[in-house]
């Protein structure tokens, strides 16, 4: 029945152009007004992630894509990774109920480490592996203002690990989330309740608080059995935006969360001929608090100071880890000289990481506790070579970390506003990814090979860190073109060539024979090089005042000069071809329907076949205060594989999902 219904929705998606009339008298005026905006009005968006200051998206010399609150609302997405599927060039795959991989322009993996992710300027990567623990990242979805997605390096301003892209999740000023909002969703794989309330706290000062609870069901093993990885999350937080004076603004915000996951792990065990030791249960918890002060001294000078503290803890039977991060950042924006815009600043980050179970046979960090300091400074100058037309942006990040020492990450970007409807841009950038706590100090058991005639003992294969790893380095060459040939159509094209050096790889070390087993170390080294080329195209088209289309296509060709003794496993983990198209239509009876079709090509190295994903959402406002919706996700398949799991987990398949929701404003 569900499969029949999904194909009916797909037919409706394709048949919409045949409908004879647009909604000429729609009472849902707010949505109709949005749908009737020209693309020039819709794309009149300022972005901050490219230059660390507000600038028109049309001037940005980077491959930038903005996911708006309206995009998020219409998608039906219940988590941040699913929201990111809308962005061109961003690979999002799921391997379990609580496991996602997110990457940009290649190198997709469970612990993808070349994409910098921020929430309101707070870095959310894990110092344990320089990636993101996606099941820990959440907020009140309705309070996300936009998500700025940059494909390509951004290290000149944001520092190490902003190698292949930046994702900056920006929440609304609390001024724009006043009053109350309550939501509830329930379906076969997902249930949630959330509440938010905002009040005025003085003259032009506001505060909001929120709390939410999510309950995710298990996914499926091959054959359809329950995978046993259901999970539950509680989270609460607040944001306060205060106007201290005409020149001074202060933002204080924070979150706290607790997660209980029913993950199952099967470990290599020297005392058994098979992988017999099984663990169940994973707990995550943490919180953060951020303070940002912004002062506008005059029309030519603005200063900001930001500080935050972040705690993240993970615990299961085979390891526990707690990371505490303190970060300070100063920034000054100055336009005192004709045709120039300076942004400069610096910062300091302190990270304390403690591994609480060094005796685990599967995993350990040595030393168990480590403190790291990161110092940085940056400067960038945007020069109007031709006023209001040609802009040259030069800058560099200077950074010192405790792993690789001093790093310089420069860039040069050029944008040419050909006319009001066309922009050409190009960029050359250098970015680095420094090794992580695990890459330097870690030990992880990969597996056990049974005895053979030539080796009569079981062989334990174990990965070991290397304290002498160099940073992985990227030199990127990018070009792009944006055009709006009519008020209804906009096209954004980007192409790139990436040259990587000193990529981390693994080599077999010298085996050691013990009385009962053979120990085979696998050592990390900075030996590989790689290059990739590709591009993305994003298109938006307003068919009518009631109907919008948006879509994108991405291509990548990644090749690695493998100089290690173990095959480079990241090749073939990113789809060469990705495609999506989204359609939003507003009917005359106020019913809104959004259909989304995604296509991913085969992942050759891990035997994941190509697949499609079809999502749909129907929304209906019963009153100005109450609205209901019905959402279907992954409707084309009962279940399917998207990615391989973590080392100790079983391959899972992602199932079809449906849920109904209601929201109430008060």
* DSSP output for 18-72: G-S---SS-S-HHHHHHHHS-HHHHT--EE-TTTSS-EEGGG--SEEEEEEHHHH
Mapped onto helix, strand or coil, the DSSP state of residue 643 is: coil
Judge whether 49 and 154 are in contact, CB under 8 Å. Answer: yes
The reported pLDDT for the residue numbered 38 is: 42
Q: What are phi and psi of 567, to 5 degrees?
A: -55, 140
This model's pTM is above 0.85:
yes
Task: Quote the pLDDT of residue 112.
Answer: 85
Q: Looking at residue 432, what is its pLDDT? A: 95
Average pLDDT of adjacent 10-residue blocks, the chain of 666 residues: 41 41 40 44 63 75 94 95 96 94 91 91 90 93 95 88 93 96 96 97 93 97 92 97 94 97 80 61 94 95 97 86 96 91 96 77 86 96 94 96 95 95 96 92 87 89 91 96 94 97 89 92 90 97 95 95 63 90 94 97 91 97 96 96 86 95 97
Residue pair 503/510 in contact by the 8 Å Cβ criterion: no
639 touches 654 (CB < 8 A):
yes
3-state SS, residue 299 = coil
CATH number at residue 205: 2.40.170.20
Judge whether 531 and 539 are in contact, CB under 8 Å: no
Q: What is the pLDDT of residue 43?
A: 47
Distance of CA 433 to the CA centre of its chain: 17
Distances (CA, A) of 433 to 177, 392, 425, 439, 526: 37, 26, 25, 12, 12
Express the helix, strand and coil content of the chain in percent, nearest 5 each: 10, 60, 30
Mean pLDDT of the chain: 88
3-state DSSP assignment of residue 100: strand
pLDDT confidence of residue 263: 82
Range of the domain at 249: 2-665
Beta strand 179-187 pairing with 165-171: unpaired
What does the pLDDT read at residue 8?
Answer: 41
Residues 6+ apart with CB under 8 A from 309: 288, 289, 324, 325, 326, 327
The CA-based dihedral angle spanning residues 629, 633, 635, 638, taken in that order and rounded to the nearest 10 degrees: -130
Distances (CA, A) of 420 to 41, 57, 89, 416, 480: 12, 12, 26, 11, 16
Return the closest-CA partner of residue 55 out of 398, 380, 298.
380
Number of domains in the chain: 1
Give the separation between CA 498 and CA 475, rounded to whole angstroms.
6
Which residues neighbour 210 within 8 Å (Cβ) at sequence distance 6 or greater? 139, 140, 143, 194, 195, 196, 197, 236, 237, 238
């Amino acid at each position: 029945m569900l499969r029949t219904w999904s194909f009916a929705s797909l037919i409706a998606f394709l048949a919409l152009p045949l409908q004879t009339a647009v909604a000429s008298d729609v009472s849902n005026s707010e949505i109709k007004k949005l749908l009737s905006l020209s693309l020039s009005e819709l794309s009149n968006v300022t972005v901050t992630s490219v230059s660390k200051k507000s600038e028109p998206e049309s001037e940005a010399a980077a491959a930038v894509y903005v996911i708006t609150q309206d995009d998020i609302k219409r998608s039906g997405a219940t988590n941040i990774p699913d929201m990111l599927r809308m962005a061109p060039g961003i690979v999002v795959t799921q391997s379990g109920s609580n496991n996602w991989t997110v990457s940009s322009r290649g190198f997709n993996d469970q612990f993808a480490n070349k994409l910098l992710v921020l929430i309101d300027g707070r870095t959310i990567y894990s110092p344990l592996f320089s990636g993101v623990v996606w099941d820990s990242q959440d907020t009140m979805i309705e309070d996300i203002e936009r998500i700025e997605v940059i494909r390509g390096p951004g290290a000149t301003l944001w520092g190490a690990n902003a190698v292949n892209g930046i994702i900056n999740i920006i929440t609304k000023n609390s001024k724009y989330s006043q009053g109350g909002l309550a939501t509830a969703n329930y379906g076969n794989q997902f249930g949630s309740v959330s509440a938010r309330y905002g009040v005025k706290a003085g003259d032009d000062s506001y505060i909001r608080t929120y709390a939410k609870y999510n309950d995710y069901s298990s996914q499926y093993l091959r054959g359809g059995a329950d995978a046993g990885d259901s999970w539950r999350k509680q989270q609460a937080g607040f944001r306060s935006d205060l106007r201290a004076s005409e020149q001074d603004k202060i933002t204080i915000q924070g979150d706290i969360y607790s997660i209980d996951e029913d993950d199952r792990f099967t470990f290599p065990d020297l005392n058994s001929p098979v992988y017999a030791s099984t663990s169940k249960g994973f707990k995550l918890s943490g919180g953060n608090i951020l303070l940002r002060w912004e002062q506008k001294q005059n029309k030519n000078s603005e200063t900001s100071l930001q500080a935050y503290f972040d705690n993240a803890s993970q615990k299961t039977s085979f390891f526990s880890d707690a990371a505490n991060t303190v970060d300070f950042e100063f920034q000054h924006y100055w336009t005192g000289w004709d045709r120039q815009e300076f942004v400069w600043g610096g910062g300091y980050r302190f990270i304390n990481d403690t591994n609480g179970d060094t005796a685990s046979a599967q995993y350990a960090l040595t030393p168990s506790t480590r403190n790291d300091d990161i110092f940085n400074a940056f400067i960038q100058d945007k020069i109007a070579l031709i006023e209001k037309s040609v802009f040259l942006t030069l800058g560099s990040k200077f950074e010192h970390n405790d792993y690789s020492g001093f790093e310089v990450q420069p860039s040069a970007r050029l944008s040419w506003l050909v006319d009001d409807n066309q922009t050409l841009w190009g960029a050359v950038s250098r970015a680095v990814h420094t090794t992580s706590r695990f890459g330097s100090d870690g030990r992880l058991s990969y597996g056990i090979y049974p005895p053979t005639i030539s080796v009569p003992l079981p062989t334990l294969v174990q990965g070991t860190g290397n304290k002498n790893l160099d940073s992985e380095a990227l030199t990127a060459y990018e070009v792009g073109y944006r055009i709006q040939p009519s008020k209804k159509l906009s096209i954004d094209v980007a192409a790139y060539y990436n040259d990587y050096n000193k990529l981390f790889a693994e080599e077999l070390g010298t085996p050691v024979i013990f009385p009962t087993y053979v120990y085979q170390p696998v050592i990390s080294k900075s030996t590989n090089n790689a290059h990739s080329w590709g591009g993305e195209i994003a298109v938006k088209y307003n068919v009518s005042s009631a109907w919008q289309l948006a879509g994108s296509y991405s291509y990548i060709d990644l090749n690695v000069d493998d100089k290690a003794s173990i095959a480079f496993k990241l090749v073939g983990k990113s789809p060469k071809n990705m495609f999506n198209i989204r359609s939003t239509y507003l009917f005359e009876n106020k019913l809104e329907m959004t259909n989304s079709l995604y296509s991913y090509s085969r992942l050759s190295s891990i035997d994941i076949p190509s697949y499609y994903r079809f999502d749909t959402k129907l929304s209906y406002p019963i009153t100005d205060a109450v609205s209901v919706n019905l959402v279907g996700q992954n409707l084309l398949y009962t279940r399917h594989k998207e990615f391989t799991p973590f080392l100790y987990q079983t391959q899972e398949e992602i199932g079809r999902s449906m849920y109904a929701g209601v929201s109430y404003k008060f």
